[in-house]
Structure 1
Amino acid sequence: MKRRIGEPQVPKGPQYAFFELMQRHVLNRGDRSLAALSKESGWSRQTWHKALRGPDLPNRDLVKALVEHLFPEQDGAEIRRRMVEETLAAWTAAVAERTFGSRADQSQTPSDTNVAKLFGAERTKPLDRANAPERQDRPTGAAVDSREAAESLFRWNHRKQRYNLPEEVRFYELLHSYYASAGRPPVRWITERMPKESPVTRSTLSEWLNGSGLPSYSERLRKALEVMRQYRPVTVDALEADAAEQDRIGEALTDAWGARPR
Protein backbone atom coordinates (compact mmCIF):
# COMPACT_ATOMS: atom_id res chain seq x y z
CA MET A 1 0.00 0.00 0.00
CA LYS A 2 1.33 3.43 -0.96
CA ARG A 3 2.45 5.52 2.01
CA ARG A 4 0.69 8.87 2.11
CA ILE A 5 2.75 12.07 1.91
CA GLY A 6 0.82 13.77 4.69
CA GLU A 7 -0.62 17.22 5.21
CA PRO A 8 1.59 20.21 4.33
CA GLN A 9 3.77 21.23 7.28
CA VAL A 10 2.76 24.90 7.19
CA PRO A 11 -0.24 26.85 8.52
CA LYS A 12 -3.30 27.33 6.31
CA GLY A 13 -2.69 30.08 3.77
CA PRO A 14 -0.84 30.60 0.45
CA GLN A 15 2.06 28.32 1.43
CA TYR A 16 -0.34 25.55 2.42
CA ALA A 17 -2.25 26.07 -0.84
CA PHE A 18 0.97 25.73 -2.84
CA PHE A 19 1.97 22.41 -1.26
CA GLU A 20 -1.61 21.17 -1.54
CA LEU A 21 -1.56 22.00 -5.26
CA MET A 22 1.72 20.10 -5.73
CA GLN A 23 0.21 17.05 -4.01
CA ARG A 24 -2.90 17.33 -6.18
CA HIS A 25 -0.71 17.30 -9.30
CA VAL A 26 0.87 14.01 -8.16
CA LEU A 27 -2.55 12.58 -7.35
CA ASN A 28 -3.97 13.56 -10.75
CA ARG A 29 -0.97 12.11 -12.59
CA GLY A 30 -1.33 8.56 -11.29
CA ASP A 31 -0.58 9.06 -7.58
CA ARG A 32 2.88 7.57 -7.97
CA SER A 33 4.98 6.91 -4.88
CA LEU A 34 7.98 9.02 -3.94
CA ALA A 35 10.22 6.09 -4.82
CA ALA A 36 8.69 5.87 -8.30
CA LEU A 37 8.92 9.63 -8.84
CA SER A 38 12.56 9.58 -7.75
CA LYS A 39 13.47 6.64 -9.99
CA GLU A 40 11.93 8.11 -13.12
CA SER A 41 12.99 11.74 -12.60
CA GLY A 42 16.44 11.56 -11.02
CA TRP A 43 15.50 13.82 -8.10
CA SER A 44 15.77 12.21 -4.69
CA ARG A 45 12.77 11.10 -2.63
CA GLN A 46 13.69 13.76 -0.09
CA THR A 47 13.56 16.45 -2.79
CA TRP A 48 10.09 15.33 -3.85
CA HIS A 49 8.88 15.02 -0.26
CA LYS A 50 10.01 18.54 0.66
CA ALA A 51 8.50 19.99 -2.52
CA LEU A 52 5.18 18.30 -1.77
CA ARG A 53 4.94 18.88 1.98
CA GLY A 54 7.38 21.56 3.11
CA PRO A 55 7.95 23.26 5.39
CA ASP A 56 10.65 25.02 3.32
CA LEU A 57 9.64 26.30 -0.09
CA PRO A 58 11.57 24.89 -3.07
CA ASN A 59 13.16 27.37 -5.45
CA ARG A 60 11.35 28.49 -8.60
CA ASP A 61 13.45 26.50 -11.06
CA LEU A 62 12.87 23.27 -9.15
CA VAL A 63 9.10 23.86 -8.99
CA LYS A 64 8.98 24.40 -12.76
CA ALA A 65 11.08 21.31 -13.42
CA LEU A 66 9.01 19.05 -11.14
CA VAL A 67 5.72 20.18 -12.68
CA GLU A 68 7.12 19.72 -16.19
CA HIS A 69 8.10 16.18 -15.22
CA LEU A 70 4.58 15.45 -13.97
CA PHE A 71 3.06 16.93 -17.13
CA PRO A 72 5.35 15.88 -20.03
CA GLU A 73 4.99 17.81 -23.26
CA GLN A 74 3.93 14.75 -25.22
CA ASP A 75 0.79 14.56 -23.08
CA GLY A 76 -0.27 18.05 -24.15
CA ALA A 77 1.85 21.18 -24.45
CA GLU A 78 -1.03 23.50 -23.56
CA ILE A 79 -1.93 21.52 -20.43
CA ARG A 80 1.71 21.54 -19.39
CA ARG A 81 1.97 25.30 -19.89
CA ARG A 82 -1.18 25.96 -17.86
CA MET A 83 -0.08 23.68 -15.02
CA VAL A 84 3.33 25.37 -14.83
CA GLU A 85 1.77 28.85 -14.84
CA GLU A 86 -0.80 27.90 -12.20
CA THR A 87 1.83 26.35 -9.95
CA LEU A 88 4.31 29.22 -10.28
CA ALA A 89 1.52 31.68 -9.45
CA ALA A 90 0.77 29.68 -6.29
CA TRP A 91 4.51 29.55 -5.51
CA THR A 92 4.81 33.34 -5.90
CA ALA A 93 1.94 33.87 -3.45
CA ALA A 94 3.58 31.42 -1.03
CA VAL A 95 6.91 33.25 -1.26
CA ALA A 96 5.16 36.57 -0.63
CA GLU A 97 3.53 35.16 2.50
CA ARG A 98 6.84 33.69 3.69
CA THR A 99 8.62 36.99 3.06
CA PHE A 100 6.08 39.58 4.19
CA GLY A 101 3.70 37.56 6.35
CA SER A 102 0.01 36.94 5.80
CA ARG A 103 -2.23 39.82 4.82
CA ALA A 104 -3.80 39.73 8.25
CA ASP A 105 -0.38 40.39 9.75
CA GLN A 106 0.26 43.44 7.56
CA SER A 107 -1.19 46.63 8.95
CA GLN A 108 0.28 48.60 6.07
CA THR A 109 2.25 48.13 2.86
CA PRO A 110 5.94 47.58 3.62
CA SER A 111 7.99 50.73 3.15
CA ASP A 112 10.99 50.93 0.85
CA THR A 113 13.21 50.77 3.94
CA ASN A 114 11.58 47.55 5.15
CA VAL A 115 11.90 45.95 1.72
CA ALA A 116 15.56 46.93 1.62
CA LYS A 117 16.07 45.26 4.99
CA LEU A 118 14.41 42.10 3.69
CA PHE A 119 16.48 41.81 0.54
CA GLY A 120 19.60 43.86 1.31
CA ALA A 121 22.67 43.57 3.47
CA GLU A 122 20.83 44.90 6.54
CA ARG A 123 18.71 41.80 7.07
CA THR A 124 19.47 39.99 10.32
CA LYS A 125 18.61 36.47 9.17
CA PRO A 126 18.80 34.82 5.74
CA LEU A 127 15.82 34.28 3.50
CA ASP A 128 15.13 30.84 2.12
CA ARG A 129 16.58 30.31 -1.35
CA ALA A 130 13.03 30.16 -2.62
CA ASN A 131 12.49 33.70 -1.31
CA ALA A 132 15.54 35.21 -2.95
CA PRO A 133 14.82 37.74 -5.71
CA GLU A 134 15.31 36.75 -9.32
CA ARG A 135 18.93 37.17 -10.32
CA GLN A 136 19.93 39.48 -13.17
CA ASP A 137 22.02 38.07 -15.98
CA ARG A 138 25.54 39.46 -16.15
CA PRO A 139 28.35 39.06 -18.68
CA THR A 140 29.93 35.62 -18.45
CA GLY A 141 33.02 35.62 -16.27
CA ALA A 142 32.22 38.94 -14.58
CA ALA A 143 33.24 39.26 -10.96
CA VAL A 144 30.60 39.02 -8.24
CA ASP A 145 30.59 41.92 -5.82
CA SER A 146 29.20 41.66 -2.28
CA ARG A 147 25.83 43.25 -3.20
CA GLU A 148 25.26 40.91 -6.17
CA ALA A 149 26.23 37.92 -4.05
CA ALA A 150 23.67 38.96 -1.43
CA GLU A 151 20.93 38.89 -4.10
CA SER A 152 21.92 35.53 -5.58
CA LEU A 153 19.77 32.41 -5.30
CA PHE A 154 22.96 30.74 -4.10
CA ARG A 155 23.75 33.24 -1.35
CA TRP A 156 22.57 31.08 1.56
CA ASN A 157 24.05 27.60 2.05
CA HIS A 158 21.36 25.46 3.68
CA ARG A 159 23.60 22.45 4.33
CA LYS A 160 26.36 24.43 6.01
CA GLN A 161 23.98 27.00 7.54
CA ARG A 162 26.13 29.93 6.51
CA TYR A 163 26.41 32.48 3.71
CA ASN A 164 28.40 31.36 0.70
CA LEU A 165 31.46 33.46 -0.03
CA PRO A 166 31.26 35.72 -3.12
CA GLU A 167 33.71 33.42 -4.92
CA GLU A 168 31.52 30.42 -4.10
CA VAL A 169 28.45 32.27 -5.32
CA ARG A 170 30.17 33.01 -8.63
CA PHE A 171 31.05 29.33 -9.11
CA TYR A 172 27.50 28.17 -8.37
CA GLU A 173 26.03 30.82 -10.68
CA LEU A 174 28.31 29.82 -13.56
CA LEU A 175 27.64 26.11 -13.01
CA HIS A 176 23.88 26.67 -12.82
CA SER A 177 23.95 28.74 -16.01
CA TYR A 178 25.87 26.01 -17.84
CA TYR A 179 23.50 23.32 -16.53
CA ALA A 180 20.52 25.36 -17.81
CA SER A 181 22.14 25.84 -21.22
CA ALA A 182 22.66 22.07 -21.39
CA GLY A 183 18.91 21.52 -21.06
CA ARG A 184 18.80 20.71 -17.32
CA PRO A 185 19.44 16.97 -17.69
CA PRO A 186 18.13 14.86 -14.77
CA VAL A 187 20.70 14.21 -12.06
CA ARG A 188 20.34 10.46 -12.48
CA TRP A 189 20.93 10.80 -16.23
CA ILE A 190 24.25 12.56 -15.55
CA THR A 191 25.52 10.24 -12.83
CA GLU A 192 24.78 7.13 -14.87
CA ARG A 193 26.98 8.45 -17.70
CA MET A 194 29.95 9.57 -15.61
CA PRO A 195 33.16 7.66 -16.45
CA LYS A 196 34.20 4.96 -13.95
CA GLU A 197 37.40 6.83 -13.08
CA SER A 198 35.41 9.96 -12.13
CA PRO A 199 32.18 8.75 -10.45
CA VAL A 200 29.79 11.14 -8.74
CA THR A 201 26.71 10.32 -6.70
CA ARG A 202 23.32 11.95 -7.21
CA SER A 203 23.45 13.59 -3.77
CA THR A 204 26.89 15.06 -4.48
CA LEU A 205 25.87 16.39 -7.87
CA SER A 206 22.70 17.84 -6.36
CA GLU A 207 24.83 19.72 -3.81
CA TRP A 208 26.90 21.23 -6.62
CA LEU A 209 23.77 22.36 -8.44
CA ASN A 210 21.89 23.73 -5.44
CA GLY A 211 24.83 25.69 -4.04
CA SER A 212 25.62 23.65 -0.93
CA GLY A 213 28.81 21.79 -1.85
CA LEU A 214 31.93 22.36 -3.96
CA PRO A 215 33.51 19.68 -6.19
CA SER A 216 36.65 18.33 -4.53
CA TYR A 217 38.73 18.54 -7.70
CA SER A 218 38.33 20.13 -11.11
CA GLU A 219 38.79 17.00 -13.25
CA ARG A 220 35.64 15.37 -11.91
CA LEU A 221 33.79 18.64 -12.47
CA ARG A 222 35.08 18.79 -16.05
CA LYS A 223 33.78 15.28 -16.73
CA ALA A 224 30.38 16.22 -15.28
CA LEU A 225 30.21 19.26 -17.57
CA GLU A 226 31.07 17.14 -20.58
CA VAL A 227 28.31 14.67 -19.70
CA MET A 228 25.80 17.51 -19.20
CA ARG A 229 26.61 18.83 -22.65
CA GLN A 230 25.78 15.44 -24.20
CA TYR A 231 22.15 16.10 -23.23
CA ARG A 232 22.00 19.15 -25.50
CA PRO A 233 25.08 19.18 -27.75
CA VAL A 234 26.35 22.47 -29.16
CA THR A 235 27.09 23.10 -32.82
CA VAL A 236 30.61 22.75 -34.19
CA ASP A 237 30.86 26.53 -34.38
CA ALA A 238 30.06 26.80 -30.65
CA LEU A 239 32.57 24.19 -29.43
CA GLU A 240 35.28 26.76 -28.73
CA ALA A 241 32.94 28.99 -26.75
CA ASP A 242 31.66 25.98 -24.81
CA ALA A 243 35.21 24.93 -23.91
CA ALA A 244 35.96 28.49 -22.77
CA GLU A 245 32.88 28.45 -20.55
CA GLN A 246 34.03 25.18 -18.97
CA ASP A 247 37.41 26.79 -18.33
CA ARG A 248 35.72 29.74 -16.59
CA ILE A 249 33.79 27.36 -14.36
CA GLY A 250 37.00 25.51 -13.48
CA GLU A 251 38.76 28.78 -12.66
CA ALA A 252 35.81 29.83 -10.52
CA LEU A 253 36.09 26.55 -8.58
CA THR A 254 39.77 27.23 -7.91
CA ASP A 255 38.94 30.75 -6.73
CA ALA A 256 36.17 29.41 -4.48
CA TRP A 257 38.46 26.94 -2.76
CA GLY A 258 41.17 29.58 -2.47
CA ALA A 259 38.79 32.02 -0.78
CA ARG A 260 37.85 29.61 2.01
CA PRO A 261 39.59 30.25 5.36
CA ARG A 262 42.63 28.09 5.98
Structure 2
Amino acid sequence: MAKKPLGEPQAPPGPQYEFFDVLQRYVRRYGNKSLAELVSEGNIYCTRQALHRALVGPKLPSRKLVHEIVRAVNCTIEEAETVLSAYDAACNDQLAHKRRADRETAAEKDQRSLTPHVSMTGHAAQDLNAFLHDLYLAAGRPSLREIENHASRLNPAVRMSKTTIHGWLTSKTIPMEFASLEVLIQILTQSASRLGVRPPLDSIEAAKRLWVRAVTERQSTRMSAGSPSGPSPKK
Protein backbone atom coordinates (compact mmCIF):
# COMPACT_ATOMS: atom_id res chain seq x y z
CA MET A 1 0.00 0.00 0.00
CA ALA A 2 0.98 3.62 -0.34
CA LYS A 3 2.63 5.10 2.73
CA LYS A 4 -0.23 7.53 3.27
CA PRO A 5 -3.83 6.35 2.72
CA LEU A 6 -5.39 7.94 -0.33
CA GLY A 7 -8.76 8.34 1.28
CA GLU A 8 -12.29 7.90 -0.03
CA PRO A 9 -12.91 9.13 -3.59
CA GLN A 10 -14.45 12.60 -3.44
CA ALA A 11 -16.89 11.98 -6.27
CA PRO A 12 -20.66 11.46 -6.53
CA PRO A 13 -21.93 7.87 -6.43
CA GLY A 14 -21.97 6.19 -9.79
CA PRO A 15 -19.51 6.08 -12.70
CA GLN A 16 -17.27 8.89 -11.37
CA TYR A 17 -16.83 7.22 -7.98
CA GLU A 18 -16.26 3.85 -9.63
CA PHE A 19 -13.47 5.28 -11.81
CA PHE A 20 -11.51 6.67 -8.85
CA ASP A 21 -12.14 3.46 -6.91
CA VAL A 22 -10.73 1.16 -9.62
CA LEU A 23 -7.74 3.46 -10.22
CA GLN A 24 -6.92 3.52 -6.50
CA ARG A 25 -7.18 -0.25 -6.37
CA TYR A 26 -4.40 -0.69 -8.95
CA VAL A 27 -2.22 1.96 -7.32
CA ARG A 28 -2.52 0.24 -3.91
CA ARG A 29 -1.70 -3.12 -5.46
CA TYR A 30 1.53 -1.72 -6.94
CA GLY A 31 3.29 -1.71 -3.57
CA ASN A 32 4.41 0.41 -0.67
CA LYS A 33 5.12 3.53 -2.73
CA SER A 34 4.41 7.08 -1.75
CA LEU A 35 2.87 9.44 -4.28
CA ALA A 36 6.16 11.31 -4.49
CA GLU A 37 7.96 8.07 -5.34
CA LEU A 38 5.35 7.21 -7.97
CA VAL A 39 5.88 10.61 -9.59
CA SER A 40 9.68 10.34 -9.60
CA GLU A 41 10.03 6.66 -10.48
CA GLY A 42 7.06 6.19 -12.74
CA ASN A 43 7.59 9.10 -15.11
CA ILE A 44 4.30 10.71 -14.16
CA TYR A 45 4.52 14.30 -15.31
CA CYS A 46 2.74 16.12 -12.51
CA THR A 47 3.26 17.12 -8.88
CA ARG A 48 2.50 14.87 -5.93
CA GLN A 49 -0.49 17.07 -5.10
CA ALA A 50 -1.82 16.80 -8.66
CA LEU A 51 -1.43 13.01 -8.54
CA HIS A 52 -3.38 12.89 -5.28
CA ARG A 53 -6.21 14.89 -6.84
CA ALA A 54 -6.16 12.56 -9.86
CA LEU A 55 -6.65 9.57 -7.56
CA VAL A 56 -9.19 11.08 -5.17
CA GLY A 57 -11.13 13.67 -7.15
CA PRO A 58 -13.57 15.25 -7.29
CA LYS A 59 -12.36 16.64 -10.64
CA LEU A 60 -11.54 14.02 -13.23
CA PRO A 61 -7.90 13.98 -14.38
CA SER A 62 -6.89 14.31 -18.01
CA ARG A 63 -6.85 11.17 -20.13
CA LYS A 64 -3.09 11.66 -20.62
CA LEU A 65 -2.50 11.56 -16.87
CA VAL A 66 -4.64 8.43 -16.54
CA HIS A 67 -2.46 6.74 -19.17
CA GLU A 68 0.69 7.73 -17.25
CA ILE A 69 -0.69 6.36 -13.97
CA VAL A 70 -1.72 2.95 -15.36
CA ARG A 71 1.68 2.65 -17.04
CA ALA A 72 3.52 3.64 -13.84
CA VAL A 73 1.77 0.97 -11.74
CA ASN A 74 2.38 -1.74 -14.38
CA CYS A 75 -1.23 -2.44 -15.31
CA THR A 76 -1.78 -5.17 -17.86
CA ILE A 77 -3.45 -4.33 -21.17
CA GLU A 78 -6.75 -5.71 -19.86
CA GLU A 79 -6.46 -3.71 -16.63
CA ALA A 80 -5.62 -0.53 -18.53
CA GLU A 81 -8.68 -1.07 -20.70
CA THR A 82 -10.79 -1.49 -17.56
CA VAL A 83 -9.49 1.81 -16.16
CA LEU A 84 -9.99 3.69 -19.42
CA SER A 85 -13.48 2.25 -19.87
CA ALA A 86 -14.34 3.45 -16.35
CA TYR A 87 -12.80 6.83 -17.18
CA ASP A 88 -14.95 7.22 -20.31
CA ALA A 89 -18.08 6.34 -18.33
CA ALA A 90 -17.09 8.87 -15.66
CA CYS A 91 -16.58 11.61 -18.28
CA ASN A 92 -20.00 10.92 -19.77
CA ASP A 93 -21.58 10.99 -16.31
CA GLN A 94 -19.84 14.27 -15.46
CA LEU A 95 -21.10 15.83 -18.70
CA ALA A 96 -24.65 14.64 -17.98
CA HIS A 97 -24.47 16.16 -14.48
CA LYS A 98 -23.27 19.46 -15.93
CA ARG A 99 -26.00 19.60 -18.56
CA ARG A 100 -28.65 18.81 -15.97
CA ALA A 101 -27.31 21.51 -13.66
CA ASP A 102 -27.23 24.01 -16.53
CA ARG A 103 -30.85 23.24 -17.39
CA GLU A 104 -31.92 23.62 -13.76
CA THR A 105 -30.03 26.90 -13.44
CA ALA A 106 -31.63 28.22 -16.63
CA ALA A 107 -35.09 27.16 -15.46
CA GLU A 108 -34.59 28.81 -12.05
CA LYS A 109 -33.35 32.00 -13.71
CA ASP A 110 -36.33 32.05 -16.06
CA GLN A 111 -38.73 31.38 -13.18
CA ARG A 112 -37.32 34.27 -11.10
CA SER A 113 -37.87 36.65 -14.00
CA LEU A 114 -41.34 35.39 -14.98
CA THR A 115 -43.44 37.80 -12.92
CA PRO A 116 -46.20 39.97 -14.41
CA HIS A 117 -45.22 43.45 -15.52
CA VAL A 118 -48.13 44.99 -13.60
CA SER A 119 -47.47 48.60 -14.53
CA MET A 120 -48.69 48.11 -18.10
CA THR A 121 -51.26 45.34 -17.70
CA GLY A 122 -55.01 45.50 -17.32
CA HIS A 123 -57.31 42.88 -15.88
CA ALA A 124 -57.64 40.96 -19.16
CA ALA A 125 -53.88 40.87 -19.69
CA GLN A 126 -53.39 39.67 -16.12
CA ASP A 127 -55.98 36.92 -16.68
CA LEU A 128 -54.10 35.81 -19.79
CA ASN A 129 -50.83 35.88 -17.89
CA ALA A 130 -52.30 33.80 -15.04
CA PHE A 131 -53.53 31.22 -17.56
CA LEU A 132 -50.15 31.00 -19.31
CA HIS A 133 -48.21 30.96 -16.05
CA ASP A 134 -50.31 28.08 -14.65
CA LEU A 135 -49.75 26.17 -17.90
CA TYR A 136 -46.02 26.92 -17.71
CA LEU A 137 -45.84 25.51 -14.16
CA ALA A 138 -47.82 22.42 -15.23
CA ALA A 139 -45.27 21.90 -18.02
CA GLY A 140 -42.49 21.60 -15.44
CA ARG A 141 -41.09 25.13 -15.91
CA PRO A 142 -39.06 24.43 -19.07
CA SER A 143 -36.31 26.93 -19.86
CA LEU A 144 -37.01 29.63 -22.42
CA ARG A 145 -34.27 28.12 -24.60
CA GLU A 146 -36.05 24.75 -24.58
CA ILE A 147 -39.32 26.41 -25.58
CA GLU A 148 -37.58 28.38 -28.34
CA ASN A 149 -35.96 25.23 -29.79
CA HIS A 150 -39.20 23.26 -29.58
CA ALA A 151 -41.11 26.04 -31.36
CA SER A 152 -38.65 26.09 -34.26
CA ARG A 153 -39.18 22.34 -34.71
CA LEU A 154 -42.94 22.44 -34.25
CA ASN A 155 -43.60 25.34 -36.62
CA PRO A 156 -40.56 26.85 -38.39
CA ALA A 157 -42.79 29.60 -39.83
CA VAL A 158 -43.32 31.03 -36.34
CA ARG A 159 -40.35 33.01 -35.08
CA MET A 160 -40.26 32.83 -31.31
CA SER A 161 -37.20 34.12 -29.43
CA LYS A 162 -36.52 33.82 -25.71
CA THR A 163 -37.26 37.54 -25.34
CA THR A 164 -40.61 37.12 -27.10
CA ILE A 165 -41.59 34.13 -24.95
CA HIS A 166 -40.56 35.97 -21.79
CA GLY A 167 -42.69 38.95 -22.80
CA TRP A 168 -45.76 36.77 -23.35
CA LEU A 169 -45.35 34.91 -20.05
CA THR A 170 -45.03 38.16 -18.07
CA SER A 171 -47.64 40.21 -19.98
CA LYS A 172 -45.00 42.73 -21.03
CA THR A 173 -46.16 42.08 -24.57
CA ILE A 174 -49.24 40.51 -26.15
CA PRO A 175 -48.87 38.88 -29.57
CA MET A 176 -50.92 40.46 -32.34
CA GLU A 177 -51.33 37.08 -34.02
CA PHE A 178 -52.91 34.28 -32.02
CA ALA A 179 -51.19 31.69 -34.24
CA SER A 180 -47.90 32.49 -32.49
CA LEU A 181 -49.38 32.16 -29.02
CA GLU A 182 -51.07 28.94 -30.08
CA VAL A 183 -47.67 27.37 -30.74
CA LEU A 184 -46.53 28.27 -27.21
CA ILE A 185 -49.68 26.73 -25.72
CA GLN A 186 -49.20 23.54 -27.76
CA ILE A 187 -45.63 23.22 -26.47
CA LEU A 188 -46.66 23.74 -22.84
CA THR A 189 -49.62 21.35 -23.02
CA GLN A 190 -47.46 18.66 -24.63
CA SER A 191 -44.80 19.08 -21.93
CA ALA A 192 -47.46 18.91 -19.20
CA SER A 193 -48.90 15.72 -20.71
CA ARG A 194 -45.45 14.09 -20.75
CA LEU A 195 -45.19 14.85 -17.02
CA GLY A 196 -48.54 13.19 -16.39
CA VAL A 197 -50.39 16.49 -15.87
CA ARG A 198 -53.63 16.67 -17.81
CA PRO A 199 -54.11 20.21 -19.16
CA PRO A 200 -57.63 21.56 -19.79
CA LEU A 201 -59.18 20.05 -22.90
CA ASP A 202 -60.06 23.48 -24.26
CA SER A 203 -56.68 25.13 -23.58
CA ILE A 204 -56.47 26.61 -27.06
CA GLU A 205 -60.00 28.00 -27.07
CA ALA A 206 -59.71 29.30 -23.50
CA ALA A 207 -56.46 31.05 -24.33
CA LYS A 208 -57.96 32.52 -27.48
CA ARG A 209 -60.86 34.06 -25.53
CA LEU A 210 -58.44 35.55 -22.99
CA TRP A 211 -56.15 36.80 -25.76
CA VAL A 212 -58.98 38.58 -27.61
CA ARG A 213 -60.00 40.30 -24.39
CA ALA A 214 -56.39 41.31 -23.63
CA VAL A 215 -55.77 42.74 -27.11
CA THR A 216 -59.10 44.60 -27.07
CA GLU A 217 -58.30 45.97 -23.63
CA ARG A 218 -54.90 47.16 -24.78
CA GLN A 219 -56.37 48.91 -27.81
CA SER A 220 -58.98 50.64 -25.62
CA THR A 221 -56.28 51.78 -23.23
CA ARG A 222 -54.22 53.22 -26.07
CA MET A 223 -57.20 55.02 -27.53
CA SER A 224 -58.05 56.53 -24.14
CA ALA A 225 -54.47 57.74 -23.85
CA GLY A 226 -54.58 59.24 -27.34
CA SER A 227 -52.17 56.70 -28.83
CA PRO A 228 -52.74 54.83 -32.09
CA SER A 229 -54.78 51.72 -31.39
CA GLY A 230 -52.82 49.53 -33.77
CA PRO A 231 -54.24 46.81 -35.99
CA SER A 232 -57.12 44.57 -34.98
CA PRO A 233 -56.30 41.16 -33.53
CA LYS A 234 -55.32 38.62 -36.15
CA LYS A 235 -56.44 35.04 -35.78
The answer, yes or no, to whether TM exceeds 0.5 is no
TM-score by length of 2: 0.42
TM-score by length of 1: 0.38
Larger radius of gyration: 2
Instruction: Please identify which structure carries the higher helix content.
Output: 2
